[in-house]
Amino acid sequence: MVKGLKLSRVMASDELFLGLCVFIAGFVFIGMSGIISPGSEGIMRLLHKTPVIAAVCILFINVSLKMVMHLKSAGASSEEKEYRILNVFFYLGVVLITAGIIISSLFRFEGKVVLTEGQNFGDDGAGYLEGSVYSGRFSRPPDFKIVMVQVSPSFYKKGRALWNIKANIDYKNRAIRKAIKISSLFPSFADGLFFRADDFGYSPFYRLTMPSGETVDEAYVIMRLFPPGSEDSFRVSPMPHTFYVRYYPDSSMIKESRPTVADEKKGPVYKLRVARNLDLIFNKSVLPNEKVQAGSVFISFDDIRKWAEISIVKDDGLFIIIPGGLIVIAVISWSIWRRVNFFMYKTQSAPDRLQGAE
């Protein structure tokens, strides 16, 4: 009996609470900073690591015991009662956060997909990006289909930097079908899933033709051509050619001292380099729909569309973590507000007490 009481006191101690919070915060900070690994795995994946989950489980027990103890205690004055109520709500918020993290570690699913305007995901469409899928022990990939309708990026620094990515998609599963607007600033929620736009680029439509006019190959190809001047490449099997492409939405974005074909006309322009094995056989500016010869074939860029990288997350734990976090923030804010008001009251009352003493 005595040992049980001692264990309960240890498990409900403030020192254990503070130590666990410091450990969890430190683990996440080190993981996010890239001190140990070159890139961050994301805060939720870090919270699902075995050492953190073990600490979270102990913290859940700790705050649960502390909340029960404050519920059973009785304060004589109104200030003590208010203090007890605030503590109960604070620990309730922490209980919800820790419970949500545990649930998230078991049921969370996340993945990323890149879609060009008009392209679909699901039903033999595009798949999740390699290495982007993360799932808990009991999670399952959500069953749905989306179609990318439009990608609308917002720029600054004269079109050379990205401010926001907006995307409109059509969402459909067995029960519902709806239009969803996605942004890179805030996640969108629909049907139990969170969507967010993470990246953006261009998908030019290339056409390869023979001198006879016969089309060898044509397709939209997803390329990383933003910001303007970025170069990416693609190949068409079994041809030995490698096509290096840069895309400028307006020819004024090209910084060159010598005149090129881009100077002859305002508007979008491509910078194209074609290598066959180790030989560079073409290196010039190309206008949209302009057919140019690159060795034994002709190439033209007849259209260009935008693509967006979309994060898809299904996490029931977030529905507990978010309310818990709001409760903790509200309690801390209320406590700070009360302390500030008390300090101002004491400061204003001090001159009155001095005058009374005189």
> 78 and 15, same structural domain?
yes
> 55 and 36, same structural domain?
yes
> 102 and 118, same structural domain?
no
Percent of the chain beyond pLDDT 90? Answer: 60
The model's pTM is: 0.83
> 193 and 221, same structural domain?
no
Structure tokens at 13: 């101690």
What average pLDDT does the segment 346-357 reach?
56
Instruction: Please give the pLDDT value at position 85.
Output: 86
> 207 and 197, same structural domain?
no
> 91 and 10, same structural domain?
yes
What are the pLDDT digits (tens) for 154-196? 999 888 899 999 999 999 988 889 999 999 999 999 889 999 9
> 41 and 25, same structural domain?
yes
What are the pLDDT digits (tens) for 198-228? 999 999 999 999 988 899 999 999 999 999 9
> 45 and 6, same structural domain?
yes
What are the pLDDT digits (tens) for 95-137? 999 999 999 999 999 999 999 999 999 755 678 999 899 999 9
> 183 and 245, same structural domain?
no
pLDDT beyond 70 at 296:
yes
Among the residue ranges 68-82, 86-100, 282-296, the one predicted with the least confidence is: 68-82
Banded model confidence at residue 354, pLDDT cuts 50, 70, 90: very low
pLDDT beyond 90 at 80:
no
Distance, CA of 200 to CA of 38 (rounded, Å)? 23
pLDDT beyond 80 at 267:
yes
Distance, CA of 156 to CA of 179 (rounded, Å)? 28
- Long-range contacts, 199-202 (Cβ 8 Å, 24+): 199/114, 199/165, 199/308, 199/309, 200/151, 200/153, 200/162, 200/165, 200/226, 200/306, 200/307, 200/308, 200/309, 201/225, 201/226, 201/306, 201/307, 202/226, 202/247, 202/304, 202/305, 202/306, 202/307
Distance, CA of 203 to CA of 307 (rounded, Å)? 6
> 154 and 176, same structural domain?
yes
Q: Average pLDDT over the chain, rounded to whole?
A: 87
> 259 and 234, same structural domain?
yes
CA 294 to the chain's CA centroid: 40
What average pLDDT does the segment 330-354 reach?
73
> 207 and 193, same structural domain?
no
Segments forming the whole domain that contains residue 234: 203-305
261 phi and psi angles, rounded to 5 deg: -65, -25
Domain count, the chain: 3
Higher pLDDT, 234 or 237: 234
Structure tokens at 320: 């507990």
Query: Dihedral (C-alpha) 288, 294, 296, 297: value to the nearest 10 degrees?
Result: -20
